[in-house]
Chains A and B, each alone.
Chain A
Amino acid sequence: MANLDDLYREIILDHYRSPRNRGELAPPALRVEGFNPLCGDEIVVYVQVEDDVLADIKLTGHGCSISQSSSSLMSAAVKGKSLEQVRETITTFKQLMTVHESHLSDEGATPDEDADIRRLGELAALAGVVKFPVRIKCATLAWNTLIQALDELPAQA
């Protein structure tokens, strides 16, 4: 049985209560909005990219503890990273949020998945979300919005 403690890890509650990188960035920073029409969660992601590095990121919006903490954890994980590293982190996180049989059984993750999860650092706290499939959309909202922002970046000369 999925336990509530799997979902609401202390790190998640901490990021919910004290979100990191909260605020706005002025242009030329890119501004992208994300919505979850089902629950009304909204997020705005501001990204400042300099020389293929995600120099700064800020977030505003409102939503549940999972969407808010996930956006906060994401901002901490990608800030200051090269765009290539950011994309890798996104890919690993999205894999974590994919429902595999192993995630839903009591046997836990495979060794490979364990390695991936370790690489995610604090973000791994969100691993339990996958046991609550309805909440996966909450956890991925900020990430999908960030993907959209990266896609909208002007092509490098």
Chain B
Amino acid sequence: MTSFDPQRVRTDIPLMRRVINGRPITYLDSGASSLTPRTVIEAMDRYYENHHANVHRGVYQTANEATAIYEGAREAAARFLNATGGSEEIVFTKNATESFNLLARSWGAKFLSHGDVVLVSEMEHHANIVPWFQLRDSHGVDVRFIPVSDDYRLDLSNIDELMRGVKLVSVTGMSNVLGTINPIRELADMAHAHGALIAVDGAQSVAHLPTDLVDLDVDFMAFSAHKMLGPTGLGIFWTRAEIMEAMPPFLGGGGMIKDVSLDGYTPASGPTRFEAGTPPIAQTAGFSAAVTYIEGLGMDNIAAYEKELTGDALTRLALEFSGRVRVIGPADTLDRGGVISLDVDGVHPHDVAQVLDQFGVCVRPGHHCAKPLMRRFGLAATARASFGPYSLVSDTDVLLEALGHAVKMFG
């Protein structure tokens, strides 16, 4: 049984007590990073106070405890994603970006060659574009883009043509700019029908939608802990055990080997093969606590609640500014998450964000690491508000009040 009360989540988050420019913080930047519940912070404190040691090395008590915490986080990740292969399919990285680099440099470099196509979309974060361009430079693969339609959705009308020669489809579960939720299962079926694999950028989606790898039937998933109430510095890479087994190591060093001699090295087996050097251990303690916390809230509850918040915000934004504030993203909540990118007529996003800051409102101005998408819509930047499970309708009240001020100020 889960229970969900956003007000309660709010009281669990110490940072919610902050006062910014004389006003209580209105945190609307969960798309960039979510706020951290006390239980997550305490889990990391407990690790440092009682269990700190390097993992997979010592035989002493605390080293065993640290290893159990670290490996336990793999179990938590597998459970959270419903990865049927269990913890052996979870690799810890530094962030979702590193997960994509691992995918490109290990799997991509081994299994893709000249002329093979990687199909991404025009709404991808640079993390799911640049590693493929790098692979294009080093291995001659082609990078192709699924276009985004005028209604801010993937344009799949020409998909059979686009799929020609594709070996990997790599798309976001939910756009960090538009809020658009993509039809991952449909894309997975299509990729598999063409003999291709599919990777999903879950950085946004895992924090706001239920994620079930069995239902989605994808082959790779990348996301980060800090966007799902966990700590910074920890990314997650998932793939099926049989695919992982065939992937060569990416970063070399300690911890990822079975043997090293003067002649060469033999990599370790399983996910540790990709975890060179001392990993982020405290972060895994925090991540496990975040998974437990978010499971307690229930991903279905979070998704339903954020949909309500988003619908309310979209309706009021459309009503209150007589066209001066344009939402860059789907106009209704169908297959849409709580990321609301704003284009304010005559006011640059940086100025919008600056005025909003005066009201204690935290939004993100900029291109959101999605420059191809910005170009697609003829924008240099947007001011983006994004919700989390601790957001309230009253946050939208303050956002609208502050936006009204910005509009008036730049008249």
A and B: partners? Answer: yes
Contact of B354 among A1, A63, A135 (CB under 8 A): A135
Beta-carbon contact of B355 and A65 below 8 Å: no
Beta-carbon contact of A7 and B354 below 8 Å: yes
Q: Is residue B228 contacting chain A, with contact meaning CB distance below 8 A? A: no
Interface string of A45-81 (1 = CB under 8 A from B): 0000000000000000011111010000000000000
| Residues in chain A near residue B371, CB distance under 8 A | 40
A4-B358, A8-B409, A40-B380 as given contacts; A65 in contact with B367, CB under 8 Å: no
Beta-carbon contact of B409 and A38 below 8 Å: no
Q: Is residue B231 contacting chain A, with contact meaning CB distance below 8 A? A: no
Q: Is residue A116 contacting chain B, with contact meaning CB distance below 8 A? A: no
Closest approach, in angstroms, between the C-beta of A138 and any C-beta of chain B?
A: 7
Beta-carbon contact of A132 and B354 below 8 Å: yes
Q: Is residue B21 contacting chain A, with contact meaning CB distance below 8 A? A: yes
Interface string of B337-377 (1 = CB under 8 A from A): 00000000001111100110010000001110001001000
Closest approach, in angstroms, between the C-beta of B129 and any C-beta of chain A?
A: 16
**Docked CA distance A4–B409 (Å):** 11
Query: In B65-89, which residues have CB < 8 Å from any A CB?
Result: none
| Closest residue on chain B to residue A132 by CB atoms | B354
Q: Is residue A13 contacting chain B, with contact meaning CB distance below 8 A? A: yes
Beta-carbon contact of B380 and A62 below 8 Å: yes
| Residues in chain B near residue A157, CB distance under 8 A | none
Interface string of A29-41 (1 = CB under 8 A from B): 0000000001111
Q: Is residue B410 contacting chain A, with contact meaning CB distance below 8 A? A: yes
Closest approach, in angstroms, between the C-beta of A117 and any C-beta of chain B?
A: 22
**Docked CA distance A42–B22 (Å):** 34
Q: Is residue B381 contacting chain A, with contact meaning CB distance below 8 A? A: yes
| Residues in chain B near residue A65, CB distance under 8 A | 347-348, 351, 410
Contact of B367 among A13, A40, A68 (CB under 8 A): A40
Closest approach, in angstroms, between the C-beta of A139 and any C-beta of chain B?
A: 12
A8-B409, A13-B410 as given contacts; A39 in contact with B21, CB under 8 Å: no
Closest approach, in angstroms, between the C-beta of A147 and any C-beta of chain B?
A: 23
Beta-carbon contact of B350 and A138 below 8 Å: yes
**Most chain-B Cβ atoms within 10 A of its Cβ — which of A7, A62, A64, A68?**
A64
| Residues in chain A near residue B365, CB distance under 8 A | 39
| Residues in chain B near residue A4, CB distance under 8 A | 354-355, 358
Interface string of A97-127 (1 = CB under 8 A from B): 0000000000000000000000000000000
**Most chain-B Cβ atoms within 10 A of its Cβ — which of A4, A17, A38, A138?**
A4
| Residues in chain A near residue B366, CB distance under 8 A | 38-40
**Docked CA distance A126–B385 (Å):** 28
**Docked CA distance A64–B367 (Å):** 13
**Docked CA distance A135–B371 (Å):** 21
| Residues in chain A near residue B381, CB distance under 8 A | 39-40
| Residues in chain A near residue B354, CB distance under 8 A | 4, 7, 132, 135
A132-B354, A138-B350 as given contacts; A40 in contact with B409, CB under 8 Å: no
Closest approach, in angstroms, between the C-beta of B343 and any C-beta of chain A?
A: 13
**Docked CA distance A66–B371 (Å):** 22
Beta-carbon contact of A64 and B21 below 8 Å: no
**Docked CA distance A13–B410 (Å):** 7
**Docked CA distance A63–B379 (Å):** 11
Query: In B35-69, which residues have CB < 8 Å from any A CB?
Result: none
Beta-carbon contact of B348 and A64 below 8 Å: yes
Closest approach, in angstroms, between the C-beta of B384 and any C-beta of chain A?
A: 13
Query: In A1-30, which residues have CB < 8 Å from any B CB?
Result: 1, 4, 7-8, 13, 16-17
| Residues in chain B near residue A8, CB distance under 8 A | 351, 409
**Docked CA distance A63–B374 (Å):** 14
Which residues on A are within 8 Å of B, measured CB to CB?
A: 1, 4, 7-8, 13, 16-17, 38-42, 62-66, 68, 132, 135, 138
**22 contacting pairs across A/B (C-beta < 8 A):** A1-B21, A4-B354, A4-B355, A4-B358, A7-B354, A13-B410, A16-B410, A17-B410, A38-B366, A39-B350, A39-B365, A39-B366, A40-B381, A41-B380, A42-B380, A62-B380, A63-B350, A63-B380, A65-B347, A65-B351, A132-B354, A135-B354
What are the 8 A-B residue pairs with the smallest beta carbon separation, nearest first? A64-B348, A64-B350, A40-B380, A4-B358, A65-B351, A40-B381, A64-B351, A40-B367
Q: A39-B366, A68-B348 are in contact. List 19 more A-B contacts (CB 8 A).
A: A1-B21, A1-B22, A4-B355, A8-B351, A8-B409, A16-B410, A17-B410, A39-B349, A39-B350, A39-B365, A40-B366, A40-B367, A40-B374, A40-B381, A63-B348, A63-B380, A64-B349, A64-B350, A65-B410
